[in-house]
């Protein structure tokens, strides 16, 4: 079963080119150590939320935007071995040198973690537009959430979506400043889902959202297995894709 490392990163809005250069230099190292694909996305539609949002997830300050990224591995064992090799090369590989490839963001506020996919449909392609989600789900509602997300795929596919991945928190650390749990104000007994949905374009995504809002048959279940008021979501444009894009 595949495995995902998810990342949310605060980046100065004016440093997009630096971010792309840094990611395009570093990300091939993941593939060299067994990853299938690395996708880095730049914030395109990040609306402030009343309770939670992507900016708050990483403590973004004025003139910062947010990047949403993932590394897909064939399985967790490959991920663990690959990340160990990646970390071992931090001091020896020139691509990791802060002098030749300086980090264009505050790594102390970056959030990251390992996630096990529980729903996966369709195929992500390099030119897709991405919706990213962070969702608080009670541990004991995992199967309810999985079934709801799985059942919803036919609807989203009908509206034009290309792919969806819903991944359950498996190796998600608690950080000193920021982390995935803080991002959704997770409560006792809750885990975190890292999710993305891929669309052919932002226009198709926006049109689908409008259709769903105006669809009289569009109803949420009576017993939704997560707290939607604390869900984090936004739209992103992929800027770096390394590895398989199909």
Q: Go through the domains of the chain in sequence order and give each one's CATH number.
A: 3-243 (3.30.70.100)
Inform me whether the pLDDT recorded for 135 exceeds 90.
Answer: yes
Q: Is-contact 148 228, C-beta < 8 A?
A: no
- Residue 218's pLDDT band, with cuts at 50, 70 and 90, is low
Inform me whether the pLDDT recorded for 201 exceeds 80.
Answer: yes
- Give the three-class secondary structure for 38: strand
pLDDT at 196: 98
Inform me whether the pLDDT recorded for 217 exceeds 70.
Answer: no
- Residue 61's pLDDT band, with cuts at 50, 70 and 90, is very high
Mean pLDDT of 85-103: 91
- Residue 244's pLDDT band, with cuts at 50, 70 and 90, is confident
pLDDT at 215: 78
Averaged pLDDT of the chain: 95
Residue-wise over 82-98: b if at least 16 C-beta within 10 A, else e?
bbeebeeeeeeeeebee
pLDDT at 245: 53
Mean pLDDT of 223-239: 96
- Residue 125's pLDDT band, with cuts at 50, 70 and 90, is very high
Q: Which helix (H) or strand (E) holds 21?
A: helix 16-26
Provide the terminal-to-terminal Cα distance of the chain, rounded to the nearest Å: 18
Structure tokens at 13: 């809005």
Q: Is the pLDDT higher at 86 or at 220?
A: 86
pLDDT at 246: 47
Mean pLDDT of 180-191: 98
Q: Which of 201, 214, 48, 191 is nearest to 129 (CA)?
A: 201
pLDDT at 214: 84
pLDDT at 28: 97
d(CA 118, CA 167): 6
Inform me whether the pLDDT recorded for 219 exceeds 70.
Answer: no
């Amino acid at each position: 079963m595949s495995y995902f490392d998810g990342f949310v990163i605060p980046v100065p809005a004016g440093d997009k080119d630096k971010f792309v250069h840094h990611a395009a230099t570093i990300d091939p190292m993941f593939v060299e150590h067994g990853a299938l694909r690395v996708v880095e996305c730049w914030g395109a539609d990040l609306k402030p939320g009343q309770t939670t949002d992507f900016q708050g997830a990483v403590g973004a300050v004025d003139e910062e935007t947010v990047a949403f990224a993932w590394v897909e591995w064939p399985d967790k064992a490959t991920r663990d071995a690959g990340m160990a090799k990646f970390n071992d090369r931090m001091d020896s590989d020139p691509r990791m040198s802060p002098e030749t490839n300086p980090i264009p963001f505050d790594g102390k506020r970056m959030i990251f973690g390992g996630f096990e996919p529980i729903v996966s449909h369709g195929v992500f392609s390099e030119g897709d537009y991405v919706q990213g989600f962070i969702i608080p789900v009670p541990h004991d509602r995992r199967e309810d959430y999985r079934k709801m997300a799985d059942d919803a795929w036919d609807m989203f596919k009908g509206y034009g979506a290309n792919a969806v991945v819903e991944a359950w928190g498996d190796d998600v650390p608690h950080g000193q400043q920021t982390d995935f749990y803080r991002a959704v104000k997770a409560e006792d007994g809750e885990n975190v889902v890292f999710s993305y949905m891929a669309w052919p374009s932002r226009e198709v995504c926006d049109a689908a959202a409008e259709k769903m809002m105006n669809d009289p048959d569009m109803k949420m279940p009576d017993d939704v297995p997560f707290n939607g008021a604390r869900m984090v979501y936004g739209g992103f444009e992929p800027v770096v894709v390394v590895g398989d894009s199909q």
